[in-house]
């Protein structure tokens, strides 16, 4: 479990209303938003609680810093604590940070590979109206996570990140966008060579061989790539800070004017390396983004031209109106009042035009919004692009789905599937099955812990179609029992890798066959006499007129396939009985008339 504060980029963007609306928005997904809770607010509804928090923040007029605290609590892949445990963890973390009495809104999100909780906290105390800022919150959160993991039996995680500041932000950017950062590229490619340089000349030579240059900026040093991307030298390593380098190599020496004869490598903004070649796919991505930028620029230019024409039209109308007022003659005409009305009308028209233009710009920016590499891959995967989905699954070291899972040794193949609710940035496809979800990472299927028999049956059918008929089941005993029961009731032609589960499946099939033999199901195949078709078989001797086959792996219940021709006397007797009942029924209807 990891708990992390999400800092605002600027105080002006600290908006509790926007944050609360974001974390409680389902985004048209059935399986994104989990439990939403409102704490320490008198209001019960979300909208009223947001207004109450904003009113409380407004009462503090002295604080100039951010008044909203955004906290994310994320669990390891496969961990899915129940609602009571999640609520208890949220309460204890907020208490540990000193926000136990503060107003807050929290929401559980399940649309990624890691279950996580977003918590929007009002830093302003509801009664004292004072602001509270936790001291060294990252250390407090680390201690709280360690304690809660031990208390609730969660898997231990790395609570204190090895990287902080710009290096941590660069690593987050790589995970979010999928594009390699300059910091990450240098650390993976040439950081060791840079550290080993013994003189300033050697250092500059190593940098130039890697398409880099070190320059003086302010009181420190920066490393600049050929494309202009810049990073502080101390961000790469503490040994590369200006004081550390000058202590080891002497006073800073500017690089020589000539470039290195050979450049071994250079940094380019490209996808983080994976086991799949993404050259062609990334070229397609860049081409689409460039077209998107050009289309957005054209649309914005057209919107501006429409706005300018509207402004010119309004001003021309106002000019004509003022000329008309000027030409008025006669007693009692208050031209000053008419001029004031004309000016007010023009101002209202211009305000309306500018507001419409602002709405058009916002709509165009949202409609032509550029996507990161990872988001573009998600979009393409949702459209059925298998290469994009494989690229997502190749990003980083995948741990694989855990918990209640179904797997097979068969190779995954495309086919019909339930409705896709979402695709994560690790390539996990979340299918919508009723009120539950089935996750597919390409190797196995994960069924939610509270899944119904309908969900398990749908997951089994998907596993058979995608991976094969020999299924491996992982999970607690009750989940395994539900899988076997669903497979038998659903008449699926599957076998289980676990011998105990396979033995149980065969036993259930045998039990179903024994029950069905006592109460045979008559299928209307061929010419079946009405007495048989309408269920008039009441004795075992009547079974002589049928041939019963089954069970099979596909249909465990016996099926009538044809009538036996050497049972004509019995057939005639049953037919006569049927005809007599039919005539008796017709006579009753006649008397009723």
Res. 290: pLDDT tops 60: yes
d(CA 396, CA 175): 9
3-state secondary structure 129-174: CCECCCCCHHHHHHHHHHHHHHHHCCCCCCCCCCCCCHHHHHHHHH
Two tokens at 87?
A: 């609520």
Confidence band for 354, pLDDT divided at 50, 70 and 90: very high
Tens-digit pLDDT profile for residues 431-456: 877 677 888 888 888 887 777 888 88
Is the pLDDT higher at 400 or at 157? 157
Tens-digit pLDDT profile for residues 477-528: 888 888 888 888 888 888 888 889 888 888 888 876 665 554 444 444 444 4
Res. 183: pLDDT tops 70: yes
Looking at the whole model, is its pTM more than 0.75? no
SS3 406: strand
* Alpha-carbon dihedral 10, 12, 13, 19, rounded to 10 degrees: 130
Q: What is the pLDDT of residue 113?
A: 81
Q: What is the pLDDT of residue 32?
A: 81
Q: What is the pLDDT of residue 59?
A: 92
Is the pLDDT higher at 3 or at 528? 3
Q: What is the pLDDT of residue 40?
A: 93
* DSSP secondary structure letter of residue 404: S
Mean pLDDT of the chain: 82
Most confident of 60-69, 343-352, 464-473, 527-536: 343-352
- CA–chain centroid gap for 324, Å, is 62
Res. 284: pLDDT tops 80: yes
Are 89 and 75 a contacting pair, CB within 8 Å? no
Q: What is the pLDDT of residue 553?
A: 41
Strand pairing partners for 225? 212
Which residue's entry shows tokens 């988001």?
375
d(CA 213, CA 203): 10
Confidence band for 329, pLDDT divided at 50, 70 and 90: confident
Is the pLDDT higher at 250 or at 274? 250
Q: Across residues 310-331, what is the average pLDDT? A: 88
Is the pLDDT higher at 322 or at 422? 322
Which whole-number Å values give the CA distances from 82 to 116, 433, 474, in the listed order? 12, 20, 19
Query: Quick one: CA dihedral 389, 390, 392, 393, positive or negative?
Result: positive
* DSSP secondary structure letter of residue 239: G
* DSSP secondary structure letter of residue 545: G
Contacts of 91 (CB under 8 A, 6+ apart): 39, 100
Backbone angles phi, psi at 228, to 5 degrees: 95, -5
Strand pairing partners for 472? 407
* DSSP secondary structure letter of residue 271: B
Two tokens at 245?
A: 């380098």
Confidence band for 11, pLDDT divided at 50, 70 and 90: low
Which whole-number Å values give the CA distances from 569 to 523, 540, 544, 565, in the listed order? 22, 16, 11, 10
Res. 369: pLDDT tops 90: no
Q: Across residues 167-180, what is the average pLDDT? A: 79
Q: What is the pLDDT of residue 545?
A: 43
Q: What is the pLDDT of residue 82?
A: 85
Contacts of 580 (CB under 8 A, 6+ apart): none
Please report the DSSP string for 448-506 in residue order. -TT--HHHHHHHHHHHHHHT-SEEEEES-HHHHHHHHHHHHHTT---EESSHHHHHHHH
Confidence band for 200, pLDDT divided at 50, 70 and 90: very high
Rg of the chain over CA atoms, in angstroms? 36
Confidence band for 537, pLDDT divided at 50, 70 and 90: very low
- Helix (H) or strand (E) holding 224, with range, is strand 220-225
Res. 47: pLDDT tops 50: yes
Backbone angles phi, psi at 530, to 5 degrees: -55, -40
Res. 420: pLDDT tops 70: yes
Res. 565: pLDDT tops 60: no
Q: Looking at 25-39, 112-126, 209-223, which range is the least confident one?
A: 25-39
Are 33 and 109 a contacting pair, CB within 8 Å? yes
* CB neighbour class for 493 (10 Å; exposed up to 12, middle 13-18, buried from 19): exposed
d(CA 23, CA 42): 20
Tens-digit pLDDT profile for residues 100-151: 999 999 999 988 888 899 999 999 999 999 999 998 888 899 999 999 999 9
Confidence band for 423, pLDDT divided at 50, 70 and 90: confident
Q: What is the pLDDT of residue 428?
A: 86
Percent of the chain predicted with pLDDT > 90:
32
Query: Quick one: CA dihedral 511, 517, 521, 525, positive or negative?
Result: positive
SS3 321: helix
d(CA 575, CA 563): 14
* CB neighbour class for 229 (10 Å; exposed up to 12, middle 13-18, buried from 19): middle
Res. 93: pLDDT tops 90: yes
Q: Across residues 351-362, what is the average pLDDT? A: 94
SS3 95: helix
Q: What is the pLDDT of residue 441?
A: 84
């Amino acid at each position: 479990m990891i708990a992390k504060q999400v800092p605002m980029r600027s105080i002006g963007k600290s908006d509790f209303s926007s944050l609360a609306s974001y974390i409680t928005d389902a985004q048209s997904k059935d399986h994104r938003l989990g439990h939403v809770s409102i704490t320490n607010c008198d209001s019960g509804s979300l909208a009223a609680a947001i207004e109450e928090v904003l009113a409380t923040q407004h009462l503090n007029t002295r604080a100039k810093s951010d008044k909203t605290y955004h906290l994310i609590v994320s669990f390891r892949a496969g961990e899915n604590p129940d609602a009571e445990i999640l609520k208890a963890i949220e309460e204890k973390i907020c208490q540990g940070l000193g926000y136990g009495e503060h107003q807050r809104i929290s929401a559980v999100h399940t649309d990624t590979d890691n279950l996580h909780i977003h918590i929007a906290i009002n830093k302003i105390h509801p009664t004292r109206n004072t602001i509270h800022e936790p001291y060294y919150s990252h250390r407090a959160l680390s201690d709280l996570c360690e304690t809660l993991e031990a208390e609730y039996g969660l898997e231990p995680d790395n609570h204190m990140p090895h990287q902080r500041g710009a290096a941590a932000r660069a690593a987050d950017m790589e995970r979010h966008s999928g594009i390699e950062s300059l910091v990450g590229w240098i650390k993976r490619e040439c950081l060791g060579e840079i550290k080993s340089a013994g003189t300033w000349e050697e250092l500059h030579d190593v940098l130039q061989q890697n398409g880099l240059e070190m320059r003086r900026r302010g009181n420190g040093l920066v490393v600049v790539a050929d494309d202009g991307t810049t990073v502080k030298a101390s961000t790469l390593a503490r040994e590369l800070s200006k004081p550390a380098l000058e202590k080891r190599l002497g006073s800073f020496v500017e690089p020589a004017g000539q470039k290195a004869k050979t450049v071994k490598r250079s940094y380019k903004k490209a996808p983080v390396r994976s086991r799949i070649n993404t050259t062609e796919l990334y070229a397609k991505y860049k081409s689409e983004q460039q077209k998107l930028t050009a289309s957005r620029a054209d649309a914005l230019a057209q919107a501006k031209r429409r706005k300018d024409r509207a402004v010119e039209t309004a001003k021309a109308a106002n000019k004509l109106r003022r000329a008309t007022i000027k030409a008025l003659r006669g007693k009692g005409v208050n031209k000053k009042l008419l001029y004031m009305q004309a000016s007010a009308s023009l101002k209202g028209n211009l305000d309306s035009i500018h507001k419409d233009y602002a709405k058009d710009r916002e709509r165009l920016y949202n409609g032509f919004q550029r996507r990161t590499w990872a988001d573009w891959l998600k979009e393409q995967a949702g459209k059925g692009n298998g290469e994009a989905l494989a690229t997502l699954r190749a990003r980083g070291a995948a741990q694989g789905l855990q918990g209640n899972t179904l797997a097979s040794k068969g190779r995954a193949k495309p086919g019909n599937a339930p409705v896709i609710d979402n695709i994560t940035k690790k390539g996990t496809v979340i299918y919508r099955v009723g009120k539950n979800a089935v996750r597919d990472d390409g190797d196995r299927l994960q069924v939610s812990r509270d899944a119904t028999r309908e969900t398990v049956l749908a997951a089994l059918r998907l596993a058979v179609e995608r991976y094969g008929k020999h299924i491996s089941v992982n999970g607690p005993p009750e989940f395994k029992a539900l899988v076997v029961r669903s497979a038998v009731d659903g008449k699926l032609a599957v076998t289980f890798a676990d011998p105990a589960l396979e033995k149980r499946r065969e036993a259930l099939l045998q039990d179903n066959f024994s029950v069905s033999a006592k109460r045979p199901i008559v299928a209307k195949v061929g010419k079946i006499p009405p007495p048989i078709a309408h269920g008039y078989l009441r004795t075992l001797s009547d079974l002589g007129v049928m041939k019963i086959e089954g069970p099979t792996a596909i249909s465990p219940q016996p099926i009538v396939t044809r009538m036996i021709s050497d049972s004509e006397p019995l057939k005639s007797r049953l037919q006569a009985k049927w005809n007599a009942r039919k005539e008796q029924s017709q006579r009753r209807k006649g008397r009723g008339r």
